[in-house]
Structures are given as structure tokens and as C-alpha cells.
Amino acid sequence: MRTAFDVTPLWRSSVGFDRLFDLLDAAQQQSEAHYPHYNIEKLGEDRYQVSLALAGFRPDEINVTAEQNVLTVEGRKTDEKREYLYQGISERHFRRQFNLADYVQVRNATFDNGLLRIELVREIPEAMKPRRIAIDGQSNVQRIDSKAA
């Protein structure tokens, strides 16, 4: 059983975390769809891979877009009329979204043997990386002499 998490106290005591709270809100309200099945793997310190099982789809029926920290994968089957005696492979339309952290970008996408693999890399700009600050040993503070009372 899931319990709701109230972020109201966090709103009162923090500034600039709007995106994080929106993600928490969306996660609570989203009813998780189970199609298509997927994996999220960590390949290295700043490398990730999302793999989706898309049996029955062709590459031209899949659309992958990355926009504003959201990766969207959509599949739309072409209307082919077939007569199945048994249909165990689902070929329904889908739309799956993944929220990406800041500076995570899609490197490439490959489709092989029914698996769509999307490689992601976190590339932090030089200006945003931590840097060491040199400390100057000289002080510009003037000393005020106090007289004994």
C-alpha cells in the first residue's frame, strides 16, 4: 500500500526546489503503466542506459525525443489488419516518459532484436564544476588598538 507524502512543510522551509517537488508530486499521482517493460542501468559514474523491450515494433514506428529534462519514447503501430489465432505479443500504442537530471543528455539510440537502447551521459559544463579557490594570506582588515581603562 502506498502512502502519500506531504511536501507542504518542505515548501515552507526551502527555496529553489520547485522542480524536485514537482517530480515528487507527479510520482505520487502517476499510475505506473507496465508497458513496455524497461531497464535503467548505470554503466559508469556519468553514463546510463535505458532499455525498452519493444517486440513487434519496427524502428520507423518508434519516436524518441529529449526536451526540457524529459526523455519521451512513443510507439505507434501502423494499421495492419491481421487475423490472429493467438496474439501473445502486445502491439499497442504507448508513451513512456523518463525525467532526466540536469545536464543529462541523450548520446544515441539503437534498436536491435526488439530492444531499444538509449545511452545517456551527464556532461556538466566546466563553469558548473567545483573549482579550488586560492586563499590570499594578506588581510586588509585594520586593527583598532584599545586602551586599557
Which domains does the chain possess? 48-81+90-127 (2.60.40.790)
pTM: 0.68
- Position 1 scores a pLDDT of 45
CA 50 – CA 39 distance, rounded (Å): 6
pLDDT greater than 80 at residue 22: no
Per-residue confidence at 148, pLDDT binned at 50, 70, 90? low
For the chain, state the CA radius of gyration: 25
- Position 68 scores a pLDDT of 87
Cis peptide upstream of residue 36 (ω within 30 degrees of 0): yes
- Position 113 scores a pLDDT of 92
- Facing residues of 74 across strands? 63, 95
The total number of residues written for the chain in this structure: 149
- Position 34 scores a pLDDT of 77
Please identify which residue in the block is written with the cell numbers 499497442. 92
27 touches 42 (CB < 8 A): no
37-66 mean pLDDT: 94
Return mean pLDDT, the chain.
Answer: 83
pLDDT greater than 90 at residue 56: no
49 touches 119 (CB < 8 A): yes
Q: Grid coordinates representing 45? A: 559514474
Q: Where is pLDDT greater, at 77 or 33?
A: 77
Please identify which residue in the block is written with the cell numbers 545511452. 119
Please compute, for residue 59, the number of CA atoms within 13 A of its CA located in the half-sphere on the CB side. 7
Per-residue confidence at 7, pLDDT binned at 50, 70, 90? low
Please compute, for residue 42, the number of CA atoms within 13 A of its CA located in the half-sphere on the CB side. 3
